[in-house]
Amino acid sequence: MGAASVSQPLLLGIESSCDETAAAVLRGRAILSNVIASQTAVHAPNGGVVPELASRHHLEQIDVVIDTALAQAGVGLGDLDGVAVTYGPGLVGCLLVGVQTAKAIAWGRGLPLLGVNHLEGHLRSVWLEHGDIPSPSMNLVASGGHTGLYLIEDEECPPRRIARTRDDAAGEAFDKVAKMLGLPYPGGPVVDRLAPTGDARAVRLSPPKMSDGSLDFSFSGFKTAALRHAQARGLTRPYPAPDRDAPSQETRDLLASFQSSVVAFLVDRLMTAADEAGARAVCLSGGVACNSLLRRRVAEEAERRGLAMFSVRRDLAVDNAAMIAEVGRRQLLSGRRAGVDLNAQPGLEL
């Protein structure tokens, strides 16, 4: 153990599940550094993450990202009380880079190794930013790879999954719709920026109906309806469109309608789940939590119901290692440890 007291452990977090190489240092819940090397520029020409390219770039970046995180925090490996790493879900070649690096550091320094579920990291990013959240809370985790609702009954209980997506993730739907219109990758922030310049009532995109009454999500219907409309109106463009900074008014109307329908669906599911669980708080995490309309609509609905609402700032909403260290901190304090046999689990669920 380093010099830090056990209740305020000094932890290194490592994240490499998709297209961000990230490392962070936490002392207790205080973020001493949060370094994110994004591969967006690497994948943008393809309009999506190319797994082989991603893992190669993680390999190139991981040492320098970890060194930078330690330097910014003003600590060395010898000061650490543990190493937390994402071991799933994600791309196997990418996860392995982080897992092997974390294992080497932990083994070489005799430190506890903490294996973290990436989705639990997103979920707990809210706690990391805001401290304790009133219980029970209903948590929407919405990113490029996953979308789900999780109930946290009380602080000591593990998250319970209430709903998941049956096809695409919310962020993936944003990315695919943007791509079919020739707009840059990742599509979510682009749609967020362009939607206010369009008419959200222009195109009707109906939410899916689940015949079994579950609160599960589905986004492929929104995507297909948007594609049909775009094809019928001649709005599709090859990716990346050369004139991508000047989408037509009709394209803006489609983007506004798409965003408003997807957000209405997310908000409806989140609030229904919160009502059913008697939640006192609703929380947003994952990259899609950056969406301005989603934040505004959830805040309005939460206020109407007298619920507390929490979302995360951008550097904690997108993939980052501070959230991974936060889950590692919780594991360390409750005595949980991973063994040297920790392996990447691409299909890990929460």
DSSP 127-190: HHHHS---SSEEEEEE-SS-EEEEEE-STTSPPEEEEEBSSS-HHHHHHHHHHHTTPPSSHHHH
Q: Which is nearer to Zn ion, 10 or 141 (CB)?
A: 141
- Binding site partner of 302, from ligand KG4, Zn ion, none, Cβ cut-off 5-8 A by kind: none
Question: Which segments within the chain are labelled E, that is strand?
Answer: 10-15, 20-27, 30-38, 82-88, 113-117, 137-142, 147-152, 160-164, 281-285, 308-311
Q: Which is nearer to Zn ion, 319 or 326 (CB)?
A: 319
What residues contact 233, with CB distance under 8 A and at least 6 apart? 250, 254
Contact call for residue 198 and ligand KG4 (CB under 6 A): no
Q: Which is nearer to ligand KG4, 9 or 186 (CB)?
A: 186
CB contact at 8 A, 94 and 317: no
Contact call for residue 86 and Zn ion (CB under 5 A): no
Interaction with Zn ion in 135-174: which residues (CB under 5 A)? 143
Alpha-carbon distance of 303 to 299, in angstroms, equals 6
Contact call for residue 187 and ligand KG4 (CB under 6 A): yes
Alpha-carbon distance of 9 to 79, in angstroms, equals 10
Q: Which is nearer to Zn ion, 12 or 318 (CB)?
A: 318
The distance of closest approach from Cβ of residue 200 to Zn ion in the complex, given in angstroms and rounded to an integer, is: 27
Q: Which of 14, 54, 140, 288 binds ligand KG4 (CB under 6 A)?
A: 288
CB contact at 8 A, 61 and 37: yes
Q: Which is nearer to ligand KG4, 27 or 57 (CB)?
A: 57
Q: Which residue from 350, 325, 328, 324 is spatially nearest to 337, judged by alpha carbons?
A: 328
Q: Which of 174, 222, 239, 258 binds ligand KG4 (CB under 6 A)?
A: 174
Q: Which of 15, 19, 253, 319 binds Zn ion (CB under 5 A)?
A: 319
Q: Return the range that interacts with ligand KG4 (CB under 6 A); candidates 66-74, 131-139, 185-193, 271-279.
A: 185-193
Number of residues that bind ligand KG4 (CB under 6 A): 20
Alpha-carbon distance of 79 to 10, in angstroms, equals 7
CB atoms within 10 A of CB 300: 12
Contact call for residue 143 and ligand KG4 (CB under 6 A): yes
Q: Residue 47, exposed/middle/buried by CB under 10 A (0-12, 13-18, 19+)?
A: buried
Q: Which of 47, 88, 112, 186 binds ligand KG4 (CB under 6 A)?
A: 186
The distance of closest approach from Cβ of residue 246 to ligand KG4 in the complex, given in angstroms and rounded to an integer, is: 20
Q: Which of 15, 120, 129, 192 binds ligand KG4 (CB under 6 A)?
A: 192
Q: Which is nearer to ligand KG4, 123 or 288 (CB)?
A: 288
3-state secondary structure of 37: strand
Bin 258: left if φ > 0, else alpha if -120 < ψ < 50, else beta.
alpha
Contact call for residue 98 and ligand KG4 (CB under 6 A): no
Q: Which of 258, 319, 328, 350 binds ligand KG4 (CB under 6 A)?
A: 319
User: Residues interacting with Zn ion, by CB under 5 A?
Assistant: 143, 319
User: Residues interacting with ligand KG4, by CB under 6 A?
Assistant: 18, 143-145, 171-172, 174-175, 186-189, 192, 286-288, 290-291, 318-319
